[in-house]
Structure 1
């Protein structure tokens, strides 16, 4: 599994997963992916979508089988997945499911510089984030329950995962807020003092030139 992908772009994975269902032209692929919300799962950049499709054909993952014309629109090339493309789809799925890789979400970056904020401000901001998270969790939980009545669970597992991750984040923030508001967070007094202490002078103490 793994190794260097011929087209190392998750958009290519999305295209393979779509074409395994049948032949399509790129506009049809894009419409299907949007309708299913795969652009959120794969981080598809639509501006490079056609370039990715052409690269996949160049590398033998998909192949043109003809063209169609709808009304006065230009002809559209219809593609199908190749045997190599099917093998790539399966191998790629195995790698993504089995092999964890480091990921750096923006929230983690923010936490890494949390000390730059006064603890009271950090508490306020975390409460605001938690409120947004909880609203989204309620909405997505209801949406998932509705989808589950008409869509097999197999095609909703990524939504379950996303919801579970955000529920875990919300639980962690609640725990952190409890420590911050109760005063039990280790080093909280030192953190607060660092922000409330007078700012030391950084310029010359007695005369001399200063930078304007």
Structure 2
């Protein structure tokens, strides 16, 4: 069963993970997330990162360790992980890894209403989607191969491998759906229901 958490934004996990390694300020966290390619897994901007840091501080998961200032940059607050924050990180990670969660992707919504579109429109749009999925999969393969060539260990690329597997599965599903939508019996049934409305 899913636990109620004080901070629910997945970006909080990334912040806690960075602070497991060492204390740092939010600007450095953002830079490391980007450098490590984690910005492909977490949707955020500078404002949302600082907001999550403040939520974690209020929850008692991180504390202000010190404020540093050098002559060229504004003051920066360095944050450290608390024992409670360390416990929250591992507990949350264990839950996410072990327990499947039903998510509500937008494509699922579109599929639930697909019968409203004409078979020809559906085929055309799904063909576009299939091409976009193939393009995204190729980009991920390139990123993964480049990282492996640079000596990055596979475990640091596992989210890219997962995303690639999901994209390939979706592309296979879309290809099969396109073929089903082209079947004469489906086209005939659609025309009987919606043909007069087009």
TM-score, normalised by the number of residues in structure 1: 0.85
Q: Does 1:194 align with 2:193?
A: yes
Question: What runs of 5+ residues in structure 1 fail to find an aligned partner?
Answer: 200-212
SS at match of 1:151: coil
Unaligned runs of 5+ in 2: none
Report the Cα distance in structure 2 between the residues aligned to 1:82 and 1:89, rounded to whole angstroms.
11
1:32 aligned counterpart, secondary structure: helix
Name the residue aligned to 2:181: 180
Residues 68-115 of structure 1 deviation map (CA, whole Å, 9 limit, x = unaligned):
113343211111112211111111110100111111111111111111
Secondary structure (helix, strand or coil) at the match of 1:74 reads coil
Is contact 1:62–1:81 with CA below 8 Å preserved after alignment?
Answer: yes
Q: Which has more helix, going by share of residues?
A: 2
Where in structure 2 are the equivalents of 1:8-47 lying within 5 Å? 8-47=8-47
Q: Is the 8 A contact 1:67 1:78 kept in 2?
A: yes
Partner residue, 1:158: 159
Query: Hey, what's the Cα distance between the residues in 2 that align with 1:58 and 1:83?
Result: 14
Cα deviation code 1:124-163 (max 9, x no counterpart): 1111111111111122112212212321111111110000
8 Å CA contact 2:180–2:186 kept in 1: the answer is: no
Aligned partner of 1:204 in structure 2 is none
- Provide TM-score, normalisation by structure 2: 0.90
Matches within 5 A, 1:4-153: 4-149=4-149, 150-153=151-154
- Once residues 143 and 58 of structure 2 are traced to their aligned partners in structure 1, the CA distance between those partners, rounded to angstroms, is 40
Query: Alignment RMSD, CA only?
Result: 1.9
Query: Which of these two proteins has the greater Rg computed from alpha carbons?
Result: 1
Q: Distance in 2 between matches of 1:165 and 1:43?
A: 18
Change (3 A) 1:169 1:198: closer
Question: Within 1, Cα distance between the matches of 2:45 and 2:86?
Answer: 23
3-state DSSP class of the match of 1:42?
A: coil
Q: How many residues align?
A: 197
User: Match for residue 3 of structure 1?
Assistant: 3
